[in-house]
Structure 1
């Protein structure tokens, strides 16, 4: 699982690099590129939060047996909400649809990375 997440985050970093180049070279597309950067950053933060939480749940289950524990949904939702509220507050700098759409980039790339790794 960890190698799949690392690959997905690597893809997100490449995407962020391309977006930074687009932000510099295309002045008319700066709000869209900035919105995509904002959402992708929130997606990467969410991936790290989820990985840390899954490791914590696995460690707790190994030490104490089966225990009920949540997956920390509130923290991940707050991260997406912060990105969307920032885009909503500053529409001249960030495109809201771009920010919202890219908030799920790493999660979607984890899915497709797992599918391609499973077919090998």
Structure 2
């Protein structure tokens, strides 16, 4: 469980770093609509990541305690979260770009994949004794 906690904290930290890069891009470039859209999508993406981590943690607790509760990963909540970001984008097209919002929404999944790759590389290096 400790490995999972480290992974969650690492992924949240990287999401916050990426959001900080988006904010700096919004503040210091001429592409303010694009970076505002990335900030909107990234913020909703971070929220989805937090929901996913909480649901996985609760499923892990249920499995560890051998309980028979039916648990889900909160897919409906995360889809509603993405739909809300899309509705905000479509409501205010002068401030947000739909493509950049979708890229921002996908940020957490890219962070999860990259974190997994780095973890596997580290695990394989440790396994070989390097």
Q: Same fold (TM over 0.5)?
A: yes
5 Å matches for 1:36-75?
36-75=38-77
Does 2:106 align with 1:101? no
- In structure 2, runs of 5+ residues without a counterpart are 123-130
Q: What is the distance in 2 between the residues matched to 1:87 and 1:23? A: 16
**3-state SS of the aligned residue for 1:119?**
helix
Does 2:108 align with 1:88? no
Q: Give the match for residue 14 of structure 1.
A: 17
Contact map agreement 1:4 1:114 (CA 8 A) in 2: no
Does 2:109 align with 1:116? no
Give the structure-2-normalised TM-score. 0.82
Give the structure-1-normalised TM-score. 0.89
Q: What is the distance in 2 between the residues matched to 1:81 and 1:108? A: 19
- In structure 1, runs of 5+ residues without a counterpart are none
Q: What is the distance in 1 between the residues matched to 2:33 and 2:63? A: 45
Aligned residue-pair number: 119
Q: Which has the higher contact order (CA 8 A, sep 6+)?
A: 1
Which of the two has higher C-alpha Rg?
2
Contact map agreement 1:4 1:110 (CA 8 A) in 2: no
The alignment's C-alpha RMSD in Å is 1.5
